[in-house]
Structure 1
Amino acid sequence: MTNGREDDALSWDGDDDPTLDVGASRDVGPDDVEPDTEPATAPELPEGFTAVGRGSETVDAAAAVDAASVSRPAIAERAPMGNGELVGVGVLGGVYALFAIGWIIGGLRLQGTAAFLVSPVGYQVSLWLAVLAPIVWFGTVFLLTARSKPWVRMVWLIAGAVLLLPWPFIMVGAIGR
């Protein structure tokens, strides 16, 4: 019985791809492996590309580095969020969403009372600005602190949660009538 790839029960297009062979064959020893040969001339990369991986040291690195440094500035990227920061941002995002709902409910309940003090158009504009304020605060803090330390983002989000409390809902709310 042979174990060749041609004798498999199922054959798919592309099975002869050499990258599919994970290990060496049965009869090949460590002395039988041929070393990789380097090309006679070093290939050159187009402008803006950087060589990575095996054999990248043979590529003309000077031209690649010069092209990369000219084409874009070096930007320090932030590491992905950790578990604690991710949970904290998620909880505070939910709080901000509840604040927006609280501003809608509280603002609509005060609409009849506010008609004596403010014009209806002015009240509607201020109501919807108040509803959008928690969402805008969260988005702004999230974008502007993208490259900051995690504690800076959390401090700004907590400060916004204290600042943007939906006072009409808290004072009048569901039980204030």
Structure 2
Amino acid sequence: MEDRTPHVQEWLGRLVRCEPNALHCTLVEPKKMSALFHPCVKEDRNSPSAISGSGCVCRRAFYDPAFGLPVVAEHFKHVGEGGTDRWTYQTYAPLDLRPGDAFDRFVISRGLFWVRTEKGLLSILPQRHGLGYNVGYSGGGPHALAAYLSQVATTNGENTAAGTPYEKAHPAILAWAQSNSAERGTNELSLSDLKAMVHS
């Protein structure tokens, strides 16, 4: 993910820089793992990740203190001034919200799926590996998303564990997830909105 939306910026704001560990290494291709341990060109022009003294392909390690999940930032900076200077971020989605947290609002922003809890915490939407979410067509991604949101709606926001079977998707939520309107811009659905869809 890139840092272009307010939601990503909010999430990035709570990350803590740290020394890379084994979990960070799982987020990086084996051939590029050593870049986790190299300084950025902005810190050392002679870094092994520096290109011609001004370009850079370093990585930085962070963790999300809310979930303890590793985050790796990948830097791509062209040589010279005025070119591309971009950071992208990789992490894992949590499998559930934290104990005691309850779902309040679902957010789609530029293809990323978020949840805001009743306490105001912004999180990547809980997701199981292999059950990726998507919207705007009739495939598995919208089914997985609709099943998850249906579970949240029918449990009053209490059951936020990922991995709900596709067949648990409520037809109204599935219709929304498959619609073109779900993929336009930033969309937010409150728990009340989801419950209304289930009871419509």
User: In proportion to residue count, which structure has more strand?
Assistant: 2
Question: After TM superposition, is the score higher than 0.5?
Answer: no
TM-score (norm 2): 0.23
